[in-house]
Amino acid sequence: MLITLILITPFVASLLSILVQKKEGMGILNFLAIAASVVEFIVGVAIAAAVVKNGSYSLDGLFSVDALGAILVLILVTVGAMVSWYSTGYLKAEVAKEIIGFHRVRQYFVLLHLFLLAMFFAIMTVSPIFMWIAIEATTLSTAFLISFYHKPSALEAAWKYLIINSVGLLLGFLGTLLFLYPAIQAGFRGLSSWQALLGQAASLDPAIAKIAFIFVMVGYGTKVGLVPMHTWLPDAHSKAPSPISSLLSGMLLNVAFLAVLRFKQLADAAVGVSFSQNILIFFGIISIIVAAFIIFGQKNYKRLLAYSSIEHMGIISLGFGFGGAAAFAGLLHMIYHSLAKSILFLSAGNILLTFSSTKIKKVKGVISVLPVTAVLFMIGFLAITGVPPFGIFITEFSIVSVGIHTYPVVTIIALFALTLVFVGFLRHVVGMIFADNPKTMVKEKAVSIVPIMILVFILIALSVFIPPAIHTLITAATSAY
């Protein structure tokens, strides 16, 4: 019942948004977005509670939420609710500035709901084929959101996103078929589930399992944004509306990484854990290194945040590659990153609305022009770069502590790269926030501030105290993956 409700809510909201035809219906679109996000949040929390109590929550053998799925559902309903709320004020401001019109607002909300639906479906389906379809659906829905402003650069970014991700997911589909080989060979004609594949994984030829996981890692790793498959991500995240950028970085990358972890479980059963761990470490460290150097010399603050996402997905990959306590920290890092990156992208949306530019050199003195946003952006910066007492400091420290004993060279390189990231971020953010600006003070609208403040509160609260239920979910997910 709960799974049906959380899947049907964004679908109905999208359908009703299509039916709104007149400009006077702006309020209806806003109401649908907020109401749907509230329902999704309540149902998502209820699903997670059921998983904590029973270990999993299923529907008719078609959908099932385990501990890892419950964590992603909680992230999605939290970030999704704040993004939906923020979007109402953000789009109203863009309409007032005549950047977009009513029909574009309607298109935005229709696609936003479909985007959320595809991610819910990908998280909860028991079928690797249906997961592939759902993640491909996220590509189709977000491609139109990336090209939302119809600028040449945005259209180019959307096409790059569409082509690179589609090719990547085709490779991921090939890897999926290779993992399905034992079931096909055994004459199985039903719906292949993760659980069924796990039961047959030991009979999979080790060579085929290794090839399959490499295809999956490259294919879904494209969607995750791991280097060298990352080339679409900075363009897409920088050209999309800021609330969508928040969902792309804060949630979609996690959903794609979920697919990697599902297949990692199969590969581990077939060939042992060391193979998949080495692959994750390889892609993780090169992602951190490349992102660090580009962050240091970046000239666009939305691209800066996009490359930060590449860096942090690399850190999460290292966590699961190192294993043990580092995997626990990697999963917790995923939660902190989603919250911090959403704070930064939504704050960047306020900055963009005021300064009308994403170039760092054109944004000066945010603290005097947008004081509240400046403070929120600074908090996001401190959190995302791992400054204590924010949780990312603890997760990075935990990952490094495990890695220094098992992979010392990789860990030392990662530490150097993380230092470079902090220095690069600091030099950009200080100039944006504190440099002199001749603009007069402007009054910020509460709707563009409150959702970000709520995310900041949640991030700080989780940095100080992890609720027992969330700790239980992370522990169960870590032991399984």
Does the pLDDT at position 344 exceed 90?
yes
d(CA 141, CA 127): 21
The most confident of the ranges 151-155, 382-386, 430-434 is 382-386
| Residue 327 CB partners (closer than 8 Å, separation 6+) | 319, 320, 478, 481
pLDDT, tens digit (0-9, with 9 covering 90-100), for 446-473: 568 899 999 999 999 999 999 999 999 9
Does the pLDDT at position 142 exceed 60?
yes
pLDDT, tens digit (0-9, with 9 covering 90-100), for 34-63: 999 999 999 999 999 999 999 889 888 789
Tell me what the mean pLDDT of segment 276-292 comes to: 95
Tell me what the mean pLDDT of segment 202-220 comes to: 90
343 phi/psi in degrees, rounded to 5: -60, -45
Q: How far is CA 298 from CA 50, 222, 303, 347, in A?
A: 44, 22, 7, 18
What's the confidence (pLDDT) of residue 470?
A: 94
The most confident of the ranges 65-79, 263-277, 356-370, 433-447 is 65-79
What band does 204 get if pLDDT is binned at 50, 70 and 90?
confident
pLDDT, tens digit (0-9, with 9 covering 90-100), for 371-412: 899 999 999 999 999 998 899 999 999 999 999 999 999 999
Q: pTM here?
A: 0.94
Tell me what the mean pLDDT of segment 140-160 comes to: 88
Does the pLDDT at position 354 exceed 60?
yes
117 phi/psi in degrees, rounded to 5: -60, -45
Please give the DSSP secondary-structure letter assigned to residue 250: I
232, 160 Cβ separation under 8 angstroms: yes
What's the confidence (pLDDT) of residue 185?
A: 63
Percent of the chain past pLDDT 90, that is, above it, reads: 65
What's the confidence (pLDDT) of residue 336?
A: 96
Does the pLDDT at position 216 exceed 80?
yes
Taking the mean position of all CA atoms in its chain, how far away is CA 79? 10
What band does 418 get if pLDDT is binned at 50, 70 and 90?
very high
What's the confidence (pLDDT) of residue 348?
A: 93
What band does 442 get if pLDDT is binned at 50, 70 and 90?
low
Tell me what the mean pLDDT of segment 170-184 comes to: 84
Between 93 and 280, residue with greater pLDDT: 280
Does the pLDDT at position 313 exceed 80?
yes
d(CA 17, CA 399): 44
d(CA 306, CA 249): 7
Per-chain mean pLDDT for the chain: 90
pLDDT, tens digit (0-9, with 9 covering 90-100), for 232-264: 888 888 888 999 999 999 899 999 999 999 999
Closest by CA position to 49, among listed 22, 29, 75, 74:
74
pLDDT, tens digit (0-9, with 9 covering 90-100), for 81-130: 999 999 999 999 888 888 888 889 999 999 999 999 999 999 999 999 99
Between 230 and 438, residue with greater pLDDT: 230
49, 469 Cβ separation under 8 angstroms: yes
Q: How far is CA 394 from CA 247, 276, 323, 387, 397, in A?
A: 24, 25, 16, 9, 5
What band does 215 get if pLDDT is binned at 50, 70 and 90?
very high
What band does 29 get if pLDDT is binned at 50, 70 and 90?
very high
What's the confidence (pLDDT) of residue 397?
A: 94
DSSP notation for 14-80: HHHHHH--SGGGHHHHHHHHHHHHHHHHHHHHHHHHHHHHHS-EEETTTEEE-HHHHHHHHHHHHHH
d(CA 121, CA 62): 10
Rg (CA), the chain: 21
Percent of the chain past pLDDT 70, that is, above it, reads: 95
